[in-house]
Chains A and B, each alone.
Chain A
């Protein structure tokens, strides 16, 4: 649990660094602190975790794994923030601080053992993000993103809370273990309040992860926010949302599978179709990524629909693969946008000729997102399909395959633009930070794709 504390302290520290205008120390300090938190988290691996803080939190392997990937992704994102924040605002320290606070909230979200902590984690994360989304104060798009995110986020929080309340009403407790005990102890006589509570929780959580029909905020917010923040939201935040979702259902609601499964099944399919089909006809790469992130939510929901022993593993791998590939995509987007000033597909034309390395890493990322073998994305999809098939959701998987095919279409558009379309363009300036992040991410993507063994056996 020390990593949570580390993070919180780090956030405040960074804020102070900003106050004292130690701009150059911000990034190293943040990264160092994150690395420390990461190490501290990993050290607790297989520590035979018990609920701590009066049963409020449980730092088990599940939590550690997701903490690790979230911190890790954040580090990658911050590595490419080197000149980014400076270019859009002078209050650089706030960025780091807010991101760190948000990350702290995320840590709470992935390791809660009490619904109170779920709520608190979600809110810590969200409130920071509301600010981050609108941090470019003079930019209308950023404003709009912040407002939309905020209004709808707050709205959905209401449902989350109402759900929690109803659960409390039915069980008299917020503790996950006790809720589970309640479910097990009353196989037949579960209160209607409880069922309604589950439904409302589904609504609240679906909003947080951006599943249809609660996804509407996602594309707009992702598009309007500064790209790095979008990267953070679509990777780390999404991963955390899923971890929270999964944790709750895995721990408490698994026995009531028959009740909520059909609903989630429909949501999952709807999400897939909305995400993929809409992504097809986008001109902006960033907006396409937003829709693609919706579609990936659809795949990840499989793990919950077909809840089982493999679920956490599947979500973990999927989220890892997805996060890393997305970070590459956003990183390249930042570079391209910096050069051409636009984020549509045409800006990528001819990239392969000028910067084969960047183009190659983006290709790997796109192939990973599309789920082509020898990339991590394939392993993720493969596990999702396996999980769903194991529960005989054959039609779901067939429709998912249909969506995967649609997905390939729009991911290939970028590759097509980079390799097969020519354009007059200059070499893109890319710092060594970028190169490192891109190369390293591509490498991880391929390594997981080729030898998934070392990561797939965590749980």
Chain B
């Protein structure tokens, strides 16, 4: 474990930041360009995971456990969100037979 930590600490922090930023951006772009609710949802999860990764990296960098604890919180709450989110999507699929987000545009103007 010690070795792993040291090995990880050997990687410059900036790389982590960059990587997470890229993953996060991919997630954002995914949300931006996809129309399927499930895919969008997955992209959001990707964003959250980018955050998780970064948190962990910072946690190691600062040698502080709270960052990693935070990751657990995120995961737990993301799970809750997934449950609710999927339920909503299912509900909509039942009503519209589609998961295309742009089909739902009754509420506008």
Contact = CB atoms under 8 A, between A and B. Distances in A.
| Residue picked from A140, A144, A219, most chain B C-beta under 10 Å | A144
Interface string A111-147: 0000010011001000100110010011011011111
Given A127-B81, A151-B101, A169-B58, A145 B107 contact: yes
B51 A173 contact: no
Interface size class of B (residues with CB under 8 A): 35 or more
Nearest to A166: B54
A162 interface: yes
Interface size class of A (residues with CB under 8 A): 35 or more
Contact of A172 (B58, B69, B88, B104): B58
Interface stretch (A153-161, A242-250, A392-400): A153-161
| Residue picked from B59, B88, B96, B105, most chain A C-beta under 10 Å | B88
Interface string B45-77: 001101100110011011010110110011001
B40 A172 contact: no
Given A143-B104, A144-B107, A134 B91 contact: yes
Nearest to B16: A169
Interface string B4-39: 000000000100010010001001100100000100
Please classify the interface of chain B as helix (H, G, I), strand (E, B), loop, or mixed, using the class held by over half of its residues: helix
Contacts of A174: 66, 70
A141 B70 contact: no
A137 B90 CA distance: 11
Interface of B: 13, 17, 20, 24, 27-28, 31, 37, 40-41, 44, 47-48, 50-51, 54-55, 58-59, 61-62, 64, 66-67, 69-70, 73-74, 77, 80-81, 84-85, 87-89, 91-92, 95-96, 101, 104-108
Given A143-B96, A154-B85, A158-B47, 11 more contacts: A119-B77, A137-B91, A144-B105, A150-B85, A151-B101, A155-B44, A161-B74, A168-B66, A168-B70, A173-B66, A174-B70
19 contacts: A123-B81, A127-B77, A131-B84, A143-B92, A144-B104, A147-B37, A151-B31, A158-B44, A161-B48, A161-B74, A164-B70, A165-B51, A165-B54, A165-B67, A168-B59, A169-B17, A169-B54, A169-B61, A224-B107
